[in-house]
Amino acid sequence: MKKTLGIFGLFLAVFISTALINPRFVSVYNLENLIRWISLFGIISIGVSFVIITGGIDLSIGSLIGMTGSLTAWLLTQRGWSVSTTLLTVLAVSLFVGMAHGLLITKLRLQPFVVTLCGLLLYRGIARYITDDQSQGFGNTQENLRLLAIGKVAIGSKFSIPIPFFILMGIAMVASLILNRTIWGRYLFALGRNETAAHYSGINTDVMKIAAYMTCSLLAGIGGILFSLDLNSIQPSGLGEFYELYAIAAAVLGGCSLRGGEGTVLGVIIGTAVMRVLYNAINILSIPTHLEFAIIGAVILAGVVTDELAKRYATNRRAIREQLGDNPLNKSQ
């Protein structure tokens, strides 16, 4: 909770200072766009946080977004598939990819880093091959479907909330329920902290891990569909590039530990928001965009360093308290 508050503080700081420097940042148009992009990235970041909570990593989601995004456009426009068949196929492919990752990692005991690194290369290649590396798009078709990504719901007379925000809220709610209110969520945290002890407690750790990778890929697939609908012009070689790193960074910034066993959905969403606001600020404050990566990297680093220092401070305080004998444990034995 403290962690989430901390990252929320960072969010406010970046948000307010950007708004003060350039009021255009809080214009209706910019805010709507910002919310849409936070929502799209939030979906994939929640996915990767499931994997990170188990102590794993998924580097393939950027490429998977590229593949599912290209596939969506290609199947609908080039192959003339119906909307429902297309969406179901794309989601099924995503689930299959996640299951393959999970099986390789649990049954063959391969390292998540290696498996998903290969995925990163593989899916990008497949995306480019299927589409012949041609840019894909919907043109003027699929306008209803595209509303999923670019539509908005008017709130009052001036402001509207983009549809993806509602999709994110739905996914966040379900994810949050799973993590906090179900036995599977508890299992994920338990195995992320200590897989052996979880296994010794009768938890089917393999199945739980496979489920986490499937969740991650499924949400990347949903992300891929939405990104393609939003952009309309999809480069199979470019869509989703570096998104895995954005998602992982957002998850870590939002309180997930790469050691596993830690993380909250709310934190991850705020982490995503920080990333997007930073990105937006760089554009809107006309900071040279070449500096984009450097700035985002520096801010994330500052965030995790602060977090680590705060943790040490808390540990020291605890040690001092114990030396003073405040801890009731010392009295017992």
Q: Which positions touch other proteins (CB under 8 A)?
A: 177, 181-184, 186-187, 189-190, 193-194, 196-204, 261, 318-319, 322-323, 327-330, 332-333
What's the rounded Cα separation, in Å, for the pair 264 and 210?
20
312 vs 318, beta carbon nearer other proteins? 318
- Kindly state the smallest distance separating residue 236's Cβ from other proteins, in Å: 38
> Residue 43 CB: number of other CB atoms within 10 A?
25
168 vs 198, beta carbon nearer other proteins? 198
- Kindly state the smallest distance separating residue 209's Cβ from other proteins, in Å: 15
Name residue 160's beta-bridge partners. Answer: 154
- Kindly state the smallest distance separating residue 319's Cβ from other proteins, in Å: 7
34 vs 208, beta carbon nearer other proteins? 208
Cβ-proximal residues to 317 (8 Å cutoff; 6+ apart), any chain: none
The secondary structure of 47-64 as a DSSP string is HHHHHHHTT-----HHHH
80 vs 325, beta carbon nearer other proteins? 325
98 vs 261, beta carbon nearer other proteins? 261
Alpha carbons within 13 A on the beta-carbon side of 263: 39
Beta carbons of 53 and 191 less than 8 angstroms apart? no
What's the rounded Cα separation, in Å, for the pair 55 and 99?
17
What's the rounded Cα separation, in Å, for the pair 214 and 105?
12
What's the rounded Cα separation, in Å, for the pair 98 and 209?
10
197 vs 294, beta carbon nearer other proteins? 197
**Would you say how long the chain is, in residues?**
333
Beta carbons of 94 and 217 less than 8 angstroms apart? yes
- Kindly state the smallest distance separating residue 180's Cβ from other proteins, in Å: 9
What's the rounded Cα separation, in Å, for the pair 318 and 298?
30
- Residue for token pair 């990767």: 48
40 vs 190, beta carbon nearer other proteins? 190
Cβ-proximal residues to 257 (8 Å cutoff; 6+ apart), any chain: 52, 263
- Kindly state the smallest distance separating residue 211's Cβ from other proteins, in Å: 12
- Kindly state the smallest distance separating residue 326's Cβ from other proteins, in Å: 10
69 vs 261, beta carbon nearer other proteins? 261
What's the rounded Cα separation, in Å, for the pair 210 and 123?
19
- What tokens does 11 get? 């969010």
Question: Could you tell me the CA-to-CA distances from 148 to 1, 142, 153 in Å, in that order?
Answer: 32, 10, 11
- Kindly state the smallest distance separating residue 322's Cβ from other proteins, in Å: 7
190 vs 278, beta carbon nearer other proteins? 190
- Kindly state the smallest distance separating residue 321's Cβ from other proteins, in Å: 10
- Kindly state the smallest distance separating residue 57's Cβ from other proteins, in Å: 19
Beta carbons of 103 and 54 less than 8 angstroms apart? no
